[in-house]
Amino acid sequence: MTYTHLLRLALPEVIIVITSVIVLGVDLFILRGSTIKARFTAASLIATLGCAAAIFDLVYAPQQAILLNGVFLSTPLINTVQIILLALSILTLLLSSESTFTDHVGEFVTLILFATIGMMFLVATQDLLILFLSLELLSLSLYILTAFNKHSPRSSEAALKYFLFGAMSAAFLLFGFSLFYGLANSTSFTQIAAAIQASPLNPLVIIAIVTTLVGFGFKVAAVPFHFWAPDVYQAAPIPAATLIASSSKVASFFIFFEFMAIALNGTSGAASWHPFASGLHFAAGWTPVLALIAAASMILGNLVAIRQTSVRRLLAYSAIAHAGYMLLAIVAHTPQSLSALVYYVTTYALTTIGAFAIVGVVEQQTSSDDLSSFNGLSRRAPILSACLFVFMLSLAGIPPLAGFFGKFFLFVAVVSTPGLVWLVILAIAGSAVSLFYYLQVLKRAYVTNPDDDTPFRTPPFTQLIIVLLAASVILFGCVPNLLIH
């Protein structure tokens, strides 16, 4: 194995790194004097091209390899997830091209690309060290992106909270990883699994499991590690919030699943409910803890979302609830539930990007993301509100939109694991409650009269992207097979 080989394997990541350098250079040296709009356009265009090149490489020259006992992998599934991540990053970049909140354009776009690199490495490893490093690369990029709107004190405050929370979670995670390393004398998932198999469930392993769960729980914003999410979703610049809510979720959930299913396979325990035999049956392991976290996320996310008046916070709590649904797939940890999870998180990410883009446009026009800003949206921006209609109903899981099939596949996968029906019933009840607050947004848009009737001046390019997103949500709903394979 040579370095050339390694570089060839990591070519998509290398392309993104080079792209980020080009973006930075072009912005600093060539477009110094141009308008912010031109710089954003140029930067996001170059970045988009870079991502597209990486996708091209992944599609047309896919590699298959496992390097250094799982430090770096390339399999069809991982390639697919990487393509999804790159596509989501492209959408985020294209939607950010109309932003005006900062004049550090090159840095902003570069950070988005760095986050993307972090995510790509994150999903492509089965090694604790690389996992932690790439997770930190992702997290640090996101902290900075959150703080990027220097005109808004709330942006900085949210970023600080996010950073503190993240730092502590990272400490937990690293602590847990160090315990695993001590146990297995290796950082490889498979070695850890073998070591745990040999001596199951001593207190050290339990502590390691719980600390790891805290770290991952922070990344996916599950209760009770979710407190950062509403503040960040509300205060971060729209592109940053979009990135946190979409592609970061995809990458985190994927690696969370892989870690739990591979490294901790021997200690899964049980969290089954047999209503006529022994009631709730907990066998020690990580699944009961995760099941509790999932249940708490679904309950709290859906209930608190009802009370929100800020649409961004509403989306944050909805994200917490959705994290609860997705955790069910990890609780089940079957191959079937992995594919259901990937489908769910991808369609969820698409929908969330669209919803955030609409929130961004509304914010730009009314300078508020309050529910009342959406009053009479259907008259002020009919196309946008039609897309909002699609996104909200997809989030609520109404057929034939993508959100419905995501939930459907996920719940089917979970139900086929015995004893988990109670979680699915809870999830379905939560979905029913969620319809209430999604419909409240739509009611504002379609029923309530607007305070002023002036039509929105939506940037045509942004509108085009939003319409494409809505179309893809409908398409994946009508033809779910497109994504499954």
Partner 1 sequence: MTWILPNLWLIPALPILAAGIIAIAKQPHRKLAASLAIGSMAVAFLLSLVAFTHTLSISHGDNIKEAFNLNWFQFGSDWVRIGWLLSPLTVVMLLMVTFVGLLIFIYSIGYMEHDENFTRFFCFLALFAGAMLGVIISNSLLLLFMYWEIVGLTSYLLIGFWYANPAAAAAAKKAFLVTRIGDIGLFLGIAWLYHQTGTLLFYDNGAGCLEPSALNALVSHTTILGLTVSTGIGILIFCGAAGKSGQFPLHVWLPDAMEGPTPVSALIHAATMVAAGVFLIARVYPLMSAQVANVLTPSIALQVVTWIGAFTALFGALIAVAQFDIKRILAYSTISQLGYMMMGLGVGGVPVGMFHLITHAFFKALLFLGAGSVIHGSNGEQDIRHMGGLRRFMPLTFATYAVGMLALCGFPLFFSGFWSKDEILHAAYDWPLSHTPFYMGAIGALLTAFYMTRQICYVFAAASRRPLPTHSFLHDDYDSAAAHHDGPPHESPSVMTVPLIILAVSTILLGFIGAPSWPWFQDFLQDKHAALNIHAFSGNGIVPVMLSSSALVFIGLTFGWMLYGRKITHAEQPDALQQIEPHTFSLLHRAFYIDALYAHTIVPLNTLLSHIADKLDRWFFNTIVQAISYLVLGVAYTDNFVDTYFVNGGFNAGCATVSVSARVLAFLQRGRIQSYLRYVGLAFALAAALLLWRAKA
Is residue 271 within the footprint of partner 1 (CB under 8 A)? no
Q: How far apart are CA 121 and CA 384, in angstroms?
A: 35
Least CB distance to partner 1 at residue 413 (A)? 25
Rounded alpha-carbon distances, angstroms, from residue 216 to 209, 327, 392, 418? 11, 11, 27, 25
**Residue 275, preceding bond cis, omega within 30 degrees?**
no
Q: How far apart are CA 352 and CA 315, in angstroms?
A: 8
Least CB distance to partner 1 at residue 456 (A)? 31
Is residue 160 within the footprint of partner 1 (CB under 8 A)? yes
- Cβ proximity to partner 1: between 94 and 300 the closer is 300
Of residues 64-103, those binding partner 1 (CB under 8 A): none
Least CB distance to partner 1 at residue 359 (A)? 20
Least CB distance to partner 1 at residue 165 (A)? 6
* 422 Cβ contact list (under 8 Å, min separation 6): 273, 280
Is residue 289 within the footprint of partner 1 (CB under 8 A)? yes
Q: Which stretch binds partner 1 (CB under 8 A): 54-62, 116-124, 278-286, 379-387?
A: 278-286
- Cβ proximity to partner 1: between 56 and 227 the closer is 227
Among 68, 283, 447, 484, binds partner 1 (CB under 8 A): 283
Least CB distance to partner 1 at residue 269 (A)? 8
Q: How many residues does the chain have?
A: 485
Least CB distance to partner 1 at residue 257 (A)? 19
Among 67, 133, 206, 474, binds partner 1 (CB under 8 A): 206
- Cβ proximity to partner 1: between 58 and 222 the closer is 222
- Cβ proximity to partner 1: between 24 and 292 the closer is 292
Is residue 165 within the footprint of partner 1 (CB under 8 A)? yes
For β-strands 270-274 and 72-74, DSSP reports them as unpaired
CA angle 475, 393, 447 (to 5 degrees): 125
x/- letters, 211..250, toward partner 1 (CB under 8 A): x-xx---x-----xx-xx-xx-------------------
Question: How many other CB atoms are there within 10 angstroms of residue 296's CB atom?
Answer: 17
Rounded alpha-carbon distances, angstroms, from residue 293 to 298, 322, 485? 9, 12, 30
Residue recorded with tokens 């730092």: 167
Q: Whole-angstrom distance between the N-terminal and C-terminal Cα of the chain?
A: 32
Least CB distance to partner 1 at residue 377 (A)? 25
Least CB distance to partner 1 at residue 433 (A)? 7
Is residue 325 within the footprint of partner 1 (CB under 8 A)? no
Is residue 307 within the footprint of partner 1 (CB under 8 A)? yes
Least CB distance to partner 1 at residue 214 (A)? 5
Q: How far apart are CA 348 and CA 331, in angstroms?
A: 19
Q: Which amino acid is at 380?
A: R
x/- letters, 394..433, toward partner 1 (CB under 8 A): ---------------------------------------x
Q: Which stretch binds partner 1 (CB under 8 A): 3-11, 90-98, 202-210, 410-418?
A: 202-210
Least CB distance to partner 1 at residue 440 (A)? 13
Is residue 153 within the footprint of partner 1 (CB under 8 A)? no
Least CB distance to partner 1 at residue 268 (A)? 12
Q: How far apart are CA 479 and CA 485, in angstroms?
A: 12
Is residue 300 within the footprint of partner 1 (CB under 8 A)? yes
Q: Which stretch binds partner 1 (CB under 8 A): 120-128, 143-151, 181-189, 280-288?
A: 280-288
Residue recorded with tokens 């969330």: 352
Residue recorded with tokens 């409240």: 440
Q: How far is CA 422 from the centre of its chain?
A: 26
Q: Which stretch binds partner 1 (CB under 8 A): 104-112, 133-141, 282-290, 407-415?
A: 282-290
x/- letters, 115..144, toward partner 1 (CB under 8 A): ------------------------------
- Cβ proximity to partner 1: between 211 and 346 the closer is 211
Binding site for partner 1 (CB under 8 A): 160-161, 164-165, 168-169, 172, 201, 203, 206-207, 209-211, 213-214, 218, 224-225, 227-228, 230-231, 282-285, 288-289, 292, 300, 303-304, 306-307, 433
